[in-house]
Amino acid sequence: MNMIGHPKHALKAVEVGADLICAQGGEGGGHTGDIPTILLIPAVAEVLRGKISPFTGRQVALVAAGGMYNGQTLAAALMLGAGAVWVGTRFILSEESGASTFHQKALQDTGLDGIIRTTIFTGRPLNTQSTPYIQRWETERREEMLQLQNKGIIPLAHDMETKKDDDEVLDNAHPVLMGKVAGLVRERLPAGKIVENMVEEAAELLEVGGKSVAKL
């Protein structure tokens, strides 16, 4: 399997033998591209059309990621051309999650506008919980951020080295990774129940959707 964020990456992955492509839209948590899932999945599905896996003898499988958290998003992904979904942020609030209590509480407290896309932690774009520290890097310290990165210096690493006793820097040393669905996820449930709810809701929606065809 190879995770990609652009249709052109899917083609390259297939050319070197990938049997399964996980296409992650810009709504995903952590490192991700910037193409919205609703646009990325059909585009990648078209790229994969007719591409056969030498291992399975079947068409290369497509998994949708980025913004997947309930039956509605599962049903939507299937209709967009995916055969399955990759769920991340929702499982942070599963009872079996290995995420810290701090991480889980942060997820519950984050609204739809509480996620920020930044490069200050690794030099690559990632989605994380927004904080005033990160916001300053992306606004008033943006020029400094770009200058550091042009020199190959990670902005956070720069602050960790030059402001070793700054509590705010220390408090922001690690990103609190989460996708944009964070603003819609609140309830802590067993992982099995999360999956069960997703499948049942998706099945109901797909059945209702099928009945709509006769009305068109």
Q: What is the 3-state secondary structure (H, E, C) of 95-125?
A: CCCCCCHHHHHHHHHCCCCCEEEECCCCCCC
pTM across the whole model: 0.91
Q: Rounded to an integer, what distance in angstroms lies between the CA atom of residue 122 and that of residue 188?
A: 30
Q: What is the chain's Cα-based Rg?
A: 20
> Quick one: pLDDT at residue 215?
62
Q: What is the mean pLDDT of residues 66-71?
A: 98
The pair of structure tokens assigned to 114 is 């509480």
pLDDT single digits (tens) 162-205:
998 899 988 888 999 999 999 999 999 999 999 999 999 999 99
> Quick one: pLDDT at residue 190?
98
Q: What architecture does CATH give domain 2-94+185-206? A: Alpha-Beta Barrel (3.20)
Unique residue bearing structure tokens 């609190």: 176
Unique residue bearing structure tokens 């942070």: 92
**Where are the domain boundaries for CATH 3.20.20.70 in the chain?**
2-94+185-206
Mean of all residue pLDDT scores within the chain = 95
Torsion sign, CA atoms 5, 11, 16, 22? positive
pLDDT single digits (tens) 119-152:
999 999 999 999 999 999 999 999 999 999 999 9
Q: What percent of the chain has pLDDT over 70?
A: 99
pLDDT of residue 115 exceeding 80: yes
Helix, coil or strand: residue 207: helix
Q: What percent of the chain has pLDDT over 90?
A: 89
Q: How far is CA 38 from CA 76, 115, 133, 165, in A?
A: 8, 19, 31, 44
